[in-house]
Amino acid sequence: MFMKLHKKSSKLLILLFIFTFLFSNYMLPNASYANESAEIDFPDLSPEHWSYPYVQYMVEQEIISGYSDGTFRPNDGFSRSAFAKLLALSFDLPEYTGNELPYSDLPSSHWAYNYIMSAKKYLTAFEKSDGTQVFLPNDIAVREDVAVAMVKAMVDEGLDLSSADLSILDSYEDGNEISPNLKSYVALAIEYNVVKGANNLFRPQDPLTRAEACTLFARFLMDIKGTYEDDDLIKVPGDSDNNYTDDQGNNVIISSGEKAFADQVVNFSVGSGSNTMDNPDDSLGEPNYSRNPWAGFVSLGDKGQLTVEFTEVYIVDGPGADIHVFEVGPQVEGTKLEVSSDNSNWIEVGNISGGTASVDLNGYIGSTDQISYVRLTDLSNGGSTTPGADIDAVAGINTVTKTTSISTEEKDYTDDQGNSITVSSGVKSFADYVVDFNVGTGSNTMDNPNDSLGEPNYSRDPWAGFVSLGDDGELTLEFKQVYIVDGPGADIHVFEVGPQVEGTKLEVSSDNSNWIEVGNISGGTASVDLNGFISSTDKISYVRLTDLSNGGSTTPGADIDAVAGINTILK
């Protein structure tokens, strides 16, 4: 037998269960599992990535690993060979011991030969024009491959393949992209409500990525082992029955229900020609417009612009479309759509018009970016009773719930100036990674930036445990375990060595790219309040310190022992 990972279950129940996850659910495992597990370290997979805990689990189970260069490549396609291996291992299929060679491109020496042969009856294959059978082991597995495997298991349990109603595929705009010989399998998968598309698309040829594959199998194995619970921290379409229909008749599945809708107006510049439907608050919350009387939507007016905020969720780049604009009318009026994480740096992601009201953020934002703001600008030419785009609601399809509660693992410290400081996350509250260090002039041997990491621990006899920036030196630190947030009172404290705090400029950033100067620390002041500099939903991971002193010291420049987030939330 292959390595056993769990008690054996019927093939039908296994596949019904696992496909529900592939096509419906991506959520984080519970906090206790994440906290007890060792971190994995792939430079291209941050802890904020939606698949991180699942990759972590699968690596720990030694089912999957990274590449020889140390990367994981979460967005790379998952090969058909690798998919066969995961089927065989995770489902505990009997190990193949024969020597058949049914596929011309699969020699017995192929690394996945036994796995493919073990799972052969559930996998798709291909026939060349000369009648030769091929498996294409190095090709990427796609959604229809996975759907076929599920239905083949159902056929094993007595399902009649000939009972498939192919007309069910007509409701999908891309139904013609399903391989003709596989349409019966896909139709049955949809009919039995085990797998469905979203937003009128099935996406049969979409590749299965390494991140999706880990999520698929980790969710199944966690549930079998009892280590998985629904914390609902990350949601994508299908996590719950939150189906909405827009005015153009499109069915839209919204991952977080009512929380997924914009709920605050940031700015509204009404365009020309707008009538009385000019209250921007009518664009907030779930779609609720009515025609008799007209109510529940806002008309932007010609060239009008509306900026809305999502205070309960972040929009992220997930499978398929990520944002849907509910417009009133038989056609979506031309509207430019932009997104931002901070209401300052905007990314134009395209126009919606005609029958298109959904936007995919893939290629516009990174896999760890989190969007809080959407800006809509009317592109129409007037002539309507309600000029400009008529906005009923704006929804995030793929979302992450915002965590706003400040950690309470409090611990007290005293700095070298005698100030008492209480940090919310204890030892985790301190910067723990050096991003960059440009030592200034005049610095002596106390120039190791790593001495600024972790809890304050300097000593005078001998000198140790701190770094001297040097005159005009600059140090950039990262907080890998917590985000710094704007909470009550001061939010950051710099532990400097000496009776006085040497002049130091302090800046913060969420992405190590866009920096916000929040003030200088000097004299007896080593704490900074972020109120007025960042929003209530901003999360800071980086702090940059620049020396402002004039030299003359034994250890020139600011002497940094540690940097702490006072108000923090765990990552």
Mean pLDDT for the stretch of residues 136-155:
86
% of residues, the chain, pLDDT over 70? 79
CA distances (Å), origin 210, targets 66, 215, 216, 510: 10, 9, 10, 27
Span between the terminal Cα atoms of the chain, in Å: 40
User: How confident is the model over 537-561, as a mean pLDDT?
Assistant: 79
What's the pLDDT at 267? 92
Q: Is residue 353 over pLDDT 80?
A: no
Q: Stretch 95-106: mean pLDDT, rounded?
A: 94
CATH 2.60.120.260 fits 411-570, yes or no: yes
Task: Mean pLDDT check: name the lowest of 53-57, 61-65, 301-305, 328-332.
Answer: 328-332
Note the CATH number of domain 235-401: 2.60.120.260
Backbone region of residue 307 per phi and psi (left: phi > 0; alpha: psi in -120 to 50; beta: other values): beta
145 versus 232: the higher-pLDDT residue is 145
The yes-or-no verdict on residue 20 having pLDDT over 50 is no
Res. 5 pLDDT band, cuts 50 70 90: very low
pLDDT grade for 151, boundaries at 50, 70 and 90: confident
In contact, 508 and 540? CB cutoff 8 Å: yes
**561 vs 522, more confident:** 561
The residue with greater pLDDT, 12 or 375, is: 375
- Residue 23 pLDDT: 45
Residues 351 and 336: their CA atoms lie apart, in Å, by 4
Give mean pLDDT, residues 359-369.
Answer: 82
Q: CA neighbours within 13 Å on the CB side: how many for 147? A: 30
Q: In CATH terms, are 235-401 and 411-570 the same topology? A: yes
Of the pLDDT bands very low, low, confident and very high (cuts 50, 70, 90), residue 478 is very high
pLDDT for position 3: 40
Q: 543-553 pLDDT, tens per residue?
A: 999 988 665 55
Tell me: the pLDDT tens digits for 428-474?
Answer: 899 999 999 998 887 567 788 999 999 998 887 777 888 888 888 89
Does residue 33 have a pLDDT over 60?
A: no
Classified as helix, coil or strand, 71 is: coil
3-state DSSP of 330-388: CCEEEEEEEEECCCCCCEEEEEEEECECEECCECCECCCCCECEEEEEECCCCCCCCCC
- Domain residue extents for the chain: 11-229, 235-401, 411-570
Which amino acid is it at 288?
N
pLDDT tens sequence across 421-440: 888 888 889 999 999 999 88
Let me know: does 43 contact 74? Beta carbons within 8 Å: no
* 333 vs 328: CA distance, rounded Å: 9
Count how many residues are written for the chain.
Answer: 571
pLDDT, mean over the chain: 79
Strand partners, 534: 531
